[in-house]
Structure 1
Amino acid sequence: MKSKRAVLHGILLTVGLLAVDASAAEPEGRLRLAVAQSKSPEVFERVELSISGMPEGGNPFDAESVTLDLEVVSPSGKSVRVPGFFTRDFARKLEGNREVLTPKGDGVWRIRWLPVEPGLHRLTAVAKSNGQLVGRAESAIDVASSKRHGIARVEPTNRRYFRLDDGTPLFLNGLCACWHGSRGTYDYDDWLAAYQKAGINYIRIWMWPIAFGIEWDKQDKLRYRMDAAWQLDYVMTEAERRGVFVMLCLDYHGIFEVKPDYWGGNNYWPRHPYNATNGGPCKTQNDFFTSEEAKRLYANRLRYIVARWSAFPNLLAWEFFNEIDNEYAYLKHDDVVAWHGEMGRRLREMDPVAHMISSSFTGGSERPDLFDLKQMDFSQYHSYNEKHPARMVAEKTARFFKKYNKPFFVSEYGTDWRGWKPDTDPHFRALHQAIWSGAFAGAAGTGMTWWWESIHGANLYHHWSALSEFLKGTGIGRPDMRPAEFGNGQGPVLALGVAARDEALVWLLDKACDWPDGAMMADPAAVAGAKITIVGAADGSWSAEWFDTGTGKQVATNNVEARSGTIALEPPPFKVDIAARLKKTNR
Structure 2
Amino acid sequence: MRFLLVLLFSILLLPSAWAIRIREFRQIGTAAPTRYQKLELGLALETPPIRNPYDPTEITVWAEFVSPQDSVYRVPGFWYQDFKRCTTCAPFPRASPTDTCLYCTKCPENPKYLTRVATRLPWRVRFAPPTAGRWSYRVVVTHNDSTVFGPRTFVNVASSTHPGNVAVHRNGRNFAFADGRLFFPLGMNITGTWVLTDYNRLPYRDAYVGITRIAESGGNFVRVLMTHSHFGIEGPDGPAGRYDVRQNRAYDLDAVMEYAAQRRVYVQLTLMTQDELFNSEEFGRAWQQHPYRKLLPPDATTEAFFTDSVSRQLLRQRIRYVMARWGYSPALFAAELMGEADLFGAGIKDHQFWDKDNFRNVRRWTDEMLGYARSLAPQHLYTINTSFAFSNFITSDTAASLYRSPQVDFVQDHFYSSDLNVEHQRAFLARRAAKLFPGKPYQLAEFGLIQNACWSGVSNFTAKRYPPGLLFHDLNELHNTLWSSTFNGSGGAALYWWANQVFGLCYGGQYHYLRPLQKFLAGDSIFDMSYEPIASQCPGTVGPKDAVHTPTTPGNCIPLWTVNKENGTDPDLLPSGVTTSDEAVEVFALRATSRIVGWVHNRHNYWYKLPHSSGPSSAPECADLNDNQPTTRDSVPALVGKQATILNVERPGRYRLEFFSTYPFYDITRDGKDEQGGIIREFTTEVRAADGKLTFTVPPLRPLGKGPFAPDYGFKAIWLPDSAPPTVAPKATTPNAPVKAKPPVRKNAPTPAARPTPRKR
Q: Same fold (TM over 0.5)?
A: yes
Which of 33, 56, 76 aligns to 1:41? It is 33
Task: Report Cα offsets for 1:460-490 as digits up to 9, x if no partner.
Answer: 1232222112222212532523314634345
Unaligned stretches of 5+ in structure 1?
1-20
Q: Is the 8 A contact 2:434 2:441 kept in 1?
A: yes
Q: Is the 8 A contact 1:415 1:421 kept in 2?
A: yes
Matches within 5 A, 1:49-60: 49-53=41-45, 55=47, 57-58=49-50, 59-60=52-53
Provide the residue aligned with 2:457 in structure 1. 422
For the residue of structure 1 that corresponds to 2:406, the secondary structure is coil
CA distance in 2, matches of 1:527, 1:133: 75
For the residue of structure 2 that corresponds to 1:477, the secondary structure is helix
For the residue of structure 2 that corresponds to 1:542, the secondary structure is strand
Provide the residue aligned with 2:327 in structure 1. 310
For the residue of structure 2 that corresponds to 1:95, the secondary structure is coil
Provide the residue aligned with 1:578 in structure 2. 713
Which of 362, 379, 385 aligns to 2:387? It is 362
- How far has the Cα of 1:210 moved from its partner? 0.5
- Amino acid in the other structure paired with 2:344: E
1:171 to 2:218 alignment = no
Task: Report Cα offsets for 1:428-447 as digits up to 9, x if no partner.
Answer: 32221111111111211222
Matches within 5 A, 1:77-116: 77-93=70-86, 94-97=89-92, 98=109, 100-106=113-119, 108-116=122-130
Provide the residue aligned with 1:161 in structure 2. 174
Task: Report Cα offsets for 1:404-448 as digits up to 9, x if no partner.
Answer: 111111111111173542269876322211111111112112221
Matches within 5 A, 1:138-287: 138-156=152-170, 158-179=171-192, 182-184=200-202, 185-217=204-236, 219-224=238-243, 225-261=246-282, 265=284, 267-275=285-293, 277=294, 283-287=300-304
Q: Is the 8 A contact 1:505 1:582 kept in 2?
A: yes
Matches within 5 A, 1:420-459: 420-422=455-457, 428-457=475-504, 458=507, 459=509
Q: Is the 8 A contact 1:42 1:145 kept in 2?
A: yes
Provide the residue aligned with 1:474 in structure 2. 524
* TM-score, length-scaled by structure 2: 0.69
Provide the residue aligned with 2:587 in structure 1. 495
Q: Is the 8 A contact 1:481 1:500 kept in 2?
A: yes
Provide the residue aligned with 2:339 in structure 1. 322
Provide the residue aligned with 1:338 in structure 2. 364
Provide the residue aligned with 1:5 in structure 2. none
If each structure's strand is expressed as a fraction of its own residues, which one has the higher value? 1
| Identity %, equivalent residues | 27
1:504 to 2:538 alignment = no
* Pairwise CA RMSD: 2.9
1:290 to 2:307 alignment = yes
- How far has the Cα of 1:54 moved from its partner? 5.4
Which of 431, 435, 456 aligns to 1:398? It is 431
- How far has the Cα of 1:547 moved from its partner? 1.1
Q: Is the 8 A contact 2:167 2:381 kept in 1?
A: yes
- How far has the Cα of 1:278 moved from its partner? 5.1
- Amino acid in the other structure paired with 2:652: D
Provide the residue aligned with 1:14 in structure 2. none
Q: Return closer, same or farther for 1:32/1:248 CA change in 2, 3 Å cut-off.
A: closer
Task: Report Cα offsets for 1:252-308 as digits up to 9, x if no partner.
Answer: 11211222436xx4x311111111x35799933212211222211111111111110
For the residue of structure 2 that corresponds to 1:376, the secondary structure is coil
* TM-score, length-scaled by structure 1: 0.88
Q: Is the 8 A contact 1:281 1:294 kept in 2?
A: no
- Amino acid in the other structure paired with 1:229: A
CA distance in 1, matches of 2:217, 2:363: 38
CA distance in 2, matches of 1:513, 1:564: 33
Aligned residues: 558
| Segment drifting more, 516-525 vs 237-246 | 516-525
- How far has the Cα of 1:96 moved from its partner? 4.1
Q: Is the 8 A contact 1:155 1:479 kept in 2?
A: no
Task: Report Cα offsets for 1:297-337 as digits up to 9, x if no partner.
Answer: 11111111111001111111111111122123435221111
Unaligned stretches of 5+ in structure 2?
1-12, 93-108, 195-199, 353-357, 394-400, 461-471, 535-575, 612-628, 665-676, 703-710, 723-761
Q: Is the 8 A contact 1:191 1:456 kept in 2?
A: yes
CA distance in 1, matches of 2:33, 2:457: 48
Q: Is the 8 A contact 1:33 1:139 kept in 2?
A: no
- Amino acid in the other structure paired with 1:219: G
CA distance in 1, matches of 2:381, 2:178: 13
| Segment drifting more, 242-251 vs 539-548 | 539-548
Provide the residue aligned with 1:569 in structure 2. 696
Bigger Rg over Cα = 2
- Amino acid in the other structure paired with 1:274: Y
